[in-house]
């Protein structure tokens, strides 16, 4: 999946420069959106000339792609951590408070919205997010499958898929909720999530 990166003699420095740019992009994309952020803005935030950025990225689109890629990996990692838990299923329920809280934090929910909108138009980005989604979906599927098996609950594949989809769907709806209802009652939402997730995780 990784795009062919330009060859640089000093790979260390190159990757450090790339990170510099992506960090700058995070800030700029967060406040101005992918298209609102100009290369000039990014280059200033990165402490590097605009021209030089092109030594590390083919185009602005390539920066967006790398940025999105990076963001998707964060989700994958989260899922990986979950997998390590003693009882991941219970952990999901237990973590709801934290996860919901995080997603409602202003500055967190902006980027998913930006990414989704971009993916809906840009096929390259779409491919990226689909790939990542596919991977984390399968991670979650496996987590749920094992958790249910440990509890002696039978589940056929389709049912499992549906539930995993629904679980992800709930969490992916959060950014929109945060945006549309700034006065949202977080505690009450957490309680409702618990109520809805329980049958998805443990239901027959």
Partner DNA sequence: AATGAATGAGTTTTCATTCAT
Partner DNA sequence: AATGAATGAAAACTCATTCAT
Give the footprint of DNA on this chain (CB under 7 A).
8-10, 13-14, 17, 35-41, 47-52, 54-55, 59-61
Alpha-carbon distance of 118 to 141, in angstroms, equals: 26
Smallest distance from a second copy to CB 199, Å: 5
Shorter beta-carbon distance to a second copy: residue 80 or 162? 162
Shorter beta-carbon distance to a second copy: residue 86 or 204? 204
Smallest distance from a second copy to CB 186, Å: 9
Q: Which does 137 bind (CB under 5 to 8 A by kind): a second copy, DNA, none?
A: a second copy
Smallest distance from DNA to CB 140, Å: 35
Smallest distance from DNA to CB 2, Å: 18
44 Cβ partners below 8 Å, 6+ apart? Answer: 24
Q: Which does 93 bind (CB under 5 to 8 A by kind): a second copy, DNA, none?
A: none
Shorter beta-carbon distance to a second copy: residue 91 or 184? 184
DSSP for 8-77 reads -S-HHHHHHHHHHHHHHHHHHHHHHHHHHS-HHHHHHHHTS-HHHHTTT-SSHHHHHHHHHHHHHHHHHH
| Cβ pair 88, 150 in contact under 8 A | no
Alpha-carbon distance of 110 to 33, in angstroms, equals: 9
Q: How far is CA 19 from the centre of its chain?
A: 18
Alpha-carbon distance of 177 to 48, in angstroms, equals: 37
Shorter beta-carbon distance to DNA: residue 5 or 133? 5
- The binding site for a second copy (CB under 8 A) comprises 31-33, 35-36, 109-110, 112-114, 116-121, 126, 129-130, 133-134, 137, 158-159, 161-163, 165-166, 168-177, 179-182, 184-185, 187-193, 195-200, 203
Shorter beta-carbon distance to DNA: residue 8 or 110? 8
Closest CA to 140 of 103, 165, 157, 170: 165
């Amino acid at each position: 999946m990784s795009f062919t990166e330009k060859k640089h003699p000093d790979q260390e420095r190159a990757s450090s420069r790339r990170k510099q740019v992506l960090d700058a992009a995070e800030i700029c994309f967060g406040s101005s959106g992918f298209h609102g952020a100009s290369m000039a803005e990014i280059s200033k935030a990165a402490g590097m000339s605009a021209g030089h950025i092109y030594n590390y990225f083919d185009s602005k689109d390539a920066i967006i792609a790398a940025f999105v890629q990076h963001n998707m990996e964060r989700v994958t990692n989260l899922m990986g951590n979950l997998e390590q838990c003693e009882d991941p299923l219970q952990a999901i329920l237990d973590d709801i408070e934290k996860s919901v809280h995080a997603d409602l934090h202003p500055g967190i929910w902006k980027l998913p919205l930006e990414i989704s909108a971009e993916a809906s138009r840009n096929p390259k980005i779409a491919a990226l997010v689909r790939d990542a989604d596919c991977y984390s979906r399968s991670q979650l599927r496996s987590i749920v499958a094992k958790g249910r098996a440990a509890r002696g609950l039978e589940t056929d594949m389709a049912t499992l898929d549906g539930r995993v989809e629904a679980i992800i769907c709930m969490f992916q709806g959060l950014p929109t909720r945060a945006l549309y209802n700034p006065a949202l009652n977080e505690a009450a939402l957490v309680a409702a999530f618990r109520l809805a997730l329980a049958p998805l995780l443990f239901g027959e």
